[in-house]
Structure 1
Amino acid sequence: MASPEEMAQTMRNNIPEKTGKSQAEWNLIIKAAGLEKHGQIVKMLKTEHGVTHGFANLLSSDFLKDGAPEVSGDDLVAAQYEKKPDLKPIYDKLLKEVKKFGKGMEIVPKKAYVSLRHNKQFALIQPSTKTRLDVGINLKGTEPTARLESSGSFNAMVSHRVRLTDSKQVDKELIEWLKAAYTAAG
């Protein structure tokens, strides 16, 4: 069972997806409102912005914590590769390619991976070991191959996984799988 802090962190990770804005954007809205009491902030977020009670409560609490560190997407990515620097060039090359897919492409860093979204998640990039980066891809209905393996226990949010150990493996075949998943998600 997750601890209360782990549950709160899971909610924090889901703020952009569930509320449509990042925690930093909500902090600016709260600051602009000039409210200083928890209940007032919760009420404002719920009534003026349609935020559910749980997220309004968390956003208000975090905002009111004096000096609470704000974690950016860049900070989350940097933390993922801090002890796995050899994998960062693979990540960078993947990102460069998927950014070419078009409008509606979202790159959403989480604590342990980066979610790639186009209306919904179509892939994720995760540095799984010091020597391997895993790319999870949503390609339901596609038969696994030796390289495009079934996700199995890797991650329930994707149907397939490709294991990468070198930036040369970010090739046409992988990009075509990612593009198909991107198209299906939009």
Structure 2
Amino acid sequence: MGKSPDEMMAAILRNLPAKTGRDAGGWAALIKAEGPAEPKARARWLKQAHGLGGATAQVLAAHALGGIHDLTPEQRLDKLYEGREDLRPIGDRLTALARGLGADVTSTVLSTMVSFSAGLKFAEAKPAGKGRIDLGLALGREPLPPSAVPLTPVKTADASDRITYRIPLASVDAITEEVAAWLARAHARVATRD
């Protein structure tokens, strides 16, 4: 199995001095002093003004923000469910199902969701308020067969968005065998890519 996103981020930060002549602290100081405030603009600026690669620029832009990026995965998970602890069992069950799909599956706790990847992102578990988690799935743009599960197209999905459908889940009991089958189908789409 490849490196997890957290391991890749740590490796990029660890290798900065050898590759760029500056450590992460030096880059963070430069970004805060001279770079734009918005994270995506920071990454673009790092690529254009300093010739950094895309992954390195994104990691440095995130690192300069501090906050959630400085927390361990478990601390990020606690922060994600802060104030909506009732949703955590739903998220934990989805994580167990996703990770059970294969050794290629990694889960990454982000500030607003848990992302599931197998080379490419195939699903996400995103708390939506205090009452539910939306399971987002990368199922492509073709029409899907009828389902007993409330599978809804993502309205904001454009050609670059991987997540194209969502299933709202308000309890662990709502994670039926059919929900698990849709998650497996999304995984199979990325696991069998050329």
Task: State the TM bucket, normalised to the shorter chain.
Answer: 0.5 to 0.7
Work out whether residues 107 and 115 of structure 1, in 8 Å CA contact, stay in contact via their aligned partners in 2: yes
How is 1:66-85 mapped onto 2 (pairs within 5 angstroms)? Answer: 70-85=70-85
Q: TM-score, normalised by structure 2?
A: 0.65
Work out whether residues 138 and 158 of structure 1, in 8 Å CA contact, stay in contact via their aligned partners in 2: yes
Residues 162 and 28 of structure 1: CA distance in aligned 2, closer, same or farther (over 3 Å): same
Q: Which runs of 5+ in 1 are unaligned?
A: 1-15, 40-45
User: Match for 2:163: what amino acid?
Assistant: V
Output one character per residue of 1:17-73: Cα deviation in whole Å (capped at 9) or x when no partner.
Answer: 9xx811x3333334788x55748xxxxxx9xxx95178359639958x9xx972232
Residues 144 and 112 of structure 1: CA distance in aligned 2, closer, same or farther (over 3 Å): farther
In structure 2, C-alpha distance between the alignment counterparts of 1:109 and 1:149, rounded to whole Å: 23
Matched, 1:153 2:140: no
How high is the sequence identity, in percent, across the aligned residues? 22
Give, in angstroms, the shift of residue 108 of structure 1: 1.6
Work out whether residues 108 and 115 of structure 1, in 8 Å CA contact, stay in contact via their aligned partners in 2: yes
Give, in angstroms, the shift of residue 75 of structure 1: 2.3
Residues 78 and 30 of structure 1: CA distance in aligned 2, closer, same or farther (over 3 Å): same
SS in 2 for 1:101: coil
Give, in angstroms, the shift of residue 127 of structure 1: 0.4
Give, in angstroms, the shift of residue 94 of structure 1: 1.3
Instruction: Let me know the Cα RMSD of the aligned residues.
Output: 3.9
In structure 2, C-alpha distance between the alignment counterparts of 1:51 and 1:58, rounded to whole Å: 11
How is 1:1-186 mapped onto 2 (pairs within 5 angstroms)? Answer: 16=5, 21-22=8-9, 24-30=10-16, 38=26, 52=53, 55-56=56-57, 59=60, 62=63, 70-140=70-140, 141=142, 142-143=144-145, 145=147, 147-153=149-155, 156-186=161-191
Give, in angstroms, the shift of residue 115 of structure 1: 1.0
Q: Which runs of 5+ in 2 are unaligned?
A: 28-46
Work out whether residues 123 and 138 of structure 1, in 8 Å CA contact, stay in contact via their aligned partners in 2: yes
Work out whether residues 139 and 160 of structure 1, in 8 Å CA contact, stay in contact via their aligned partners in 2: yes
User: Match for 2:13: what amino acid?
Assistant: N
Give, in angstroms, the shift of residue 139 of structure 1: 1.6
In structure 2, C-alpha distance between the alignment counterparts of 1:88 and 1:61, rounded to whole Å: 25
User: Match for 1:123: what amino acid?
Assistant: A
Output one character per residue of 1:69-114: Cα deviation in whole Å (capped at 9) or x when no partner.
Answer: 7223222221110111000011111111221111210112211111
Residues 51 and 166 of structure 1: CA distance in aligned 2, closer, same or farther (over 3 Å): same
SS in 2 for 1:29: helix
